[in-house]
Amino acid sequence: MGSEHSSSSPRPSRRQFLVGLGSATAALGAPAVLAGAAPAGAATTPPPPPAPPTPPPLNLSDIQGNVLGGFNKDNQTLLALTFPTTSAGRSWVQSVRAQIASASEVTSFNSARRAVAQRAGAQTSLLTSTWMNVAFTYAGLTALGVNSTDLSLFPQEFRSGMAARAPQLGDVGASAPSNWPLPFQRRAHALLILAADTATDLSTLTNRQLALAKKLGVKVLWTQQGSVRVDQPGHEHFGFKDGISQPGVRGVTTPSDPANPDQGIPGQDLLWPGEFVIGQPTQVGGTQPLTAMGPPSVGGPAWASNGSYLVFRRLRQDVAGFRDFVAQTAAAQGISTDLMGAKMMGRYKSGAALETTGAQAADPGLSDPTLLSDERVNDFEFGGDANGAVVPLAAHIRKTYPRDAQTRDGGEADTQTHRIMRRGIPFGASLPAGTPSTDPAARPAYPADRGLLFLCYQSSIRRQFEFVQSRWVIDPNFPRTDAGQDPVIAQNATPGSFTLPGGQPNHIALMQRFVTTTGGDYFFQPSLAALQRLAGGAPAVAAGVALPLATAPSSGSPRPPASPRRRRSKVRRPKRS
Ligand code: N7H
């Protein structure tokens, strides 16, 4: 189980992670001859890159809303549940299904909200909504009675779950699952993501879901509140602006410059949706152009199409420890704390990109807000800074997304096969500036602590989140030998180091971890059609493919009272605007 990443066996190559992505390429229209490979005797002038093929239509009404659109709400609650019986679980899925927000609703709402904001400035509060999405662990799919053939088609890492993958992820020592606070050690069956603009709306939504679970006999394992920081909205607990850089998605993200249809905002490459949604075309990698369309992503049985994999990690942040380290290291290096933090992150706290602004004593984003505009905040690459003189090779945003730089694992096209769609939100109260690290408030006990509810979507947990976390973040030899560990989030069990080119010394010891894992798991977030199937209702595949129904509940599980919605002929999808 999960041995492919263990330290006792050789680390898998990037190619091994991509197994299964190559076969259908030609069928989907990617050029048969690799770019740059010319037949003998032909002229050497390379042909112009092929125009990107037209993507197959995305059914946004069938995909859950947080995957491609992003809830983007200041208040969110995660609700973890277990199903005591198959029938209770199915009744519950049937009841929540009609309340699940689709990508079509969320993307339309977000566009309308942006338009209102542009016209009316701060009056965006005029437009509000509440959203809900649902996802399941492998244990949850099993509890819902999915048949064993279908279960066996889900990827191994998802079946194992996050706790079983702890050694590969660096979740050892204080981060080991056996040290997680108790409610988070128990394996959930389902995760509800509830989101609202106001705390009042969220509490109404949460109470309604708690009452529904109680009524249907579904057990609530834990609830976890997340909220945008009141004192520094948009900034996570270490003080950095978050949520700046995300992959763009073809067919969803609108290019800001019509002359450049392959980018959303400047610097935001558009990727094929199959990187995040199962059954859609993927990136190709290797020597193909970034625009080449790859085969559809596969991630389970046929009804997994339009679903996505969700990684949840409850990451505690030692804010006092981080502040102390930055201050002490800055003093030792003879540079400002603003610059030291930027060297570790790759951005100043305001979000200003270190690569474009260079070393400055004071955060340049504070004096020049235009550095934070959509046009400038993401418009940079690392290839021209090959040795990390400006942005160290192990800085957080360089480790997790090396952009165009050549790395141990390939070039830019390869890197684009390891992207994730981040949807995290902070939890816990802010630590007021100046709180001494000896103050108990600086190091709160579980579970009343502070950190990040890290959530990310992808079509392959192994090729995306796990690859980034285990092969990049915690490996001191990525992007190349001796680059050091990610100084912000690496979970170093034994003291690691962060390489600061030009620093004195250039290997700065990382004697402590600033981020500790305190819970988490791997979830599958099905399409809306598949939810109907999981409720024990009609087949999930809208394309007319007949699929066997989930196995019947065991005889020991009481069936829920017959309701018209459980009968196939009567099931109707709710109308969505
Ligand atoms: Fe990271 N932070 O606030 O310190 N992250 N992150 N992250 N992160 C990013 O560009 C942070 C974590 C990525 O496209 C920013 O949006 C914290 C994990 C990726 O240029 C900031 C934690 C993983 C990017 C943080 C944490 C990642 C990114 C800059 C944990 C994956 C985009 C703002 C407590 C394994 C890189 C931005 C790009 C950016 C922070 C965790 C990945 C400020 C506190 C576990 C891919």
pLDDT in tens, 38-86: 333 344 566 665 666 676 789 999 999 999 999 999 999 999 999 999 9
Report strand pairing: 421-422 vs 451-458: antiparallel
Q: How many CB atoms lie within 10 A of CB 410?
A: 18
How far, in Å, from the CA of 97 to the mean position of ligand 1? 31
Query: Is 112 within 8 Å of 126 (Cβ atoms)?
Result: no
Instruction: Kindly give, in sequence order, each residue whose CB lies less than 8 Å from that of residue 326, ignoring residues fewer than 6 positions away.
Output: 337, 340, 341, 344
pLDDT in tens, 536-569: 864 444 333 233 333 333 322 222 233 333 222 2
How far, in Å, from the CA of 88 to the mean position of ligand 1? 38
Residue 119 has a pLDDT of: 79
Report strand pairing: 507-510 vs 496-499: antiparallel
pLDDT in tens, 81-113: 999 999 999 999 999 999 999 999 999 999 998
Tokens representing 209 are 């879901």
Peptide bond into 402 cis (omega under 30): no
Can you tell me whether residue 348 is helix, strand or coil? coil
Q: How many CB atoms lie within 10 A of CB 538?
A: 18
Peptide bond into 447 cis (omega under 30): yes
- Torsion from C-alpha of 453, 457, 458, 463, nearest 10 degrees: 0
- What is the DSSP track for 25-44? TGGGT--SSPTT-PPTTS--
| Least confident among 184-198, 285-299, 316-330, 547-561 | 547-561
Residue 47 has a pLDDT of: 65
Q: Is the CB of 400 under 6 A from ligand 1?
A: yes
Instruction: Kindly give, in sequence order, each residue whose CB lies less than 8 Å from that of residue 86, ignoring residues fewer than 6 positions away.
Output: 143, 144, 145, 553, 554, 557
Count how many Cα atoms sit within 13 Å of the Cα of residue 39 in the half-sphere of its side chain. 3
Peptide bond into 505 cis (omega under 30): yes
At 52, give phi and psi (nearest 5°).
-60, 135
Q: Is the CB of 397 under 6 A from ligand 1?
A: yes
% of the chain with per-residue pLDDT over 70: 82
Q: Is the CB of 472 under 6 A from ligand 1?
A: no
The residue nearest atom 26 of ligand 1, judged by CA position, is 489
Q: Which residue spans within 142-264 are E strands per DSSP? A: 190-196, 219-227, 248-249
State the pLDDT confidence band at 121, using cuts at 50, 70 and 90.
low
Rg (CA), the chain: 24
Can you tell me whether residue 457 is helix, strand or coil? strand
Residue 427: beta bridge partners? Answer: 451
pLDDT in tens, 221-256: 999 999 999 999 999 999 999 999 999 999 999 999
Q: How far apart are CA 391 and CA 354, in angstroms?
A: 7
> What is the 3-class SS of 43-91, one letter each residue?
CCCCCCCCCCCCCCCCCCCCCEHHHHCCCCCCEEEEEEEECCCHHHHHH
Query: Is 16 within 8 Å of 176 (Cβ atoms)?
Result: no
At 296, give phi and psi (nearest 5°).
-65, 145
Residue whose entry in the numeric block shows the structure tokens 């402590």:
512
Which residue, 78, 1, 34, is CA-closest to 426? 78
At 453, give phi and psi (nearest 5°).
-85, 95
- Torsion from C-alpha of 224, 229, 230, 233, nearest 10 degrees: -140
Instruction: Kindly give, in sequence order, each residue whose CB lies less than 8 Å from that of residue 104, ignoring residues fewer than 6 positions away.
Output: 60, 61, 63, 576
Quick one: angle between helices 86-97 and 199-216, nearest 10?
140
Residue 493 has a pLDDT of: 65
Q: Is the CB of 514 under 6 A from ligand 1?
A: no
Which of 313, 381, 400 should be mutated for ligand 1, with most atoms under 8 A from CB? 400
Q: How many CB atoms lie within 10 A of CB 306?
A: 28
Q: Is the CB of 489 under 6 A from ligand 1?
A: yes
Q: What is the pTM of this model?
A: 0.86
Q: Is the CB of 486 under 6 A from ligand 1?
A: no
Q: Which residue spans within 228-288 are E strands per DSSP? A: 248-249, 270-271
Instruction: Kindly give, in sequence order, each residue whose CB lies less than 8 Å from that of residue 224, ignoring residues fewer than 6 positions away.
Output: 77, 78, 80, 314, 427, 453
Which residue, 547, 421, 401, is CA-closest to 133? 421
Can you tell me whether residue 370 is helix, strand or coil? helix
Q: How many CB atoms lie within 10 A of CB 260?
A: 11
Q: Is the CB of 450 under 6 A from ligand 1?
A: no
Residue 262 has a pLDDT of: 95
At 452, give phi and psi (nearest 5°).
-125, 130
Instruction: Kindly give, in sequence order, each residue whose CB lies less than 8 Å from that of residue 83, ignoring residues fewer than 6 positions away.
Output: 89, 92, 140, 143, 144, 189, 190, 218, 219
For 324-346, letters b (16+ CB in 10 Å) and e give ebbeebbeebebbbbbbbbbbbb
Q: Is the CB of 315 under 6 A from ligand 1?
A: yes
Residue whose entry in the numeric block shows the structure tokens 């020597």:
287
Instruction: Kindly give, in sequence order, each residue whose CB lies less than 8 Å from that of residue 270, ignoring residues fewer than 6 positions away.
Output: 247, 248, 249, 250, 253, 255, 261, 262, 263, 264
Q: How far apart are CA 385 and CA 342, in angstroms?
A: 15
Q: How far apart are CA 469 and CA 314, in angstroms?
A: 14
pLDDT in tens, 29-39: 222 222 222 33
Q: Is residue 28 predicted with pLDDT exceeding 50? A: no
Q: How far apart are CA 346 and CA 396, in angstroms?
A: 6
The residue nearest atom 13 of ligand 1, judged by CA position, is 400
Residue 46 has a pLDDT of: 63
Which residue, 421, 458, 149, is CA-closest to 307? 458
Q: How far apart are CA 210 and CA 138, in angstroms?
A: 23
Per the model's pLDDT, the better-predicted residue between 63 and 14 turns out to be: 63
Per-residue pLDDT, averaged over 127-151, amounts to 97
pLDDT in tens, 179-210: 999 999 999 999 999 999 999 999 999 999 99
Instruction: Kindly give, in sequence order, each residue whose CB lies less than 8 Å from that of residue 207, ignoring residues fewer than 6 positions away.
Output: none
Residue 456: beta bridge partners? Answer: 311, 422
Atom of ligand 1 nearest to the CA of 347: 29
Q: Is the CB of 454 under 6 A from ligand 1?
A: yes
Q: How many CB atoms lie within 10 A of CB 482?
A: 12
Residue 48 has a pLDDT of: 64
pLDDT in tens, 348-380: 999 999 999 999 999 999 999 999 999 999 999
How far, in Å, from the CA of 161 to the mean position of ligand 1? 22
% of the chain with per-residue pLDDT over 90: 76
**One-letter amino acid for residue 184 of the chain:** F
At 165, give phi and psi (nearest 5°).
-95, 5
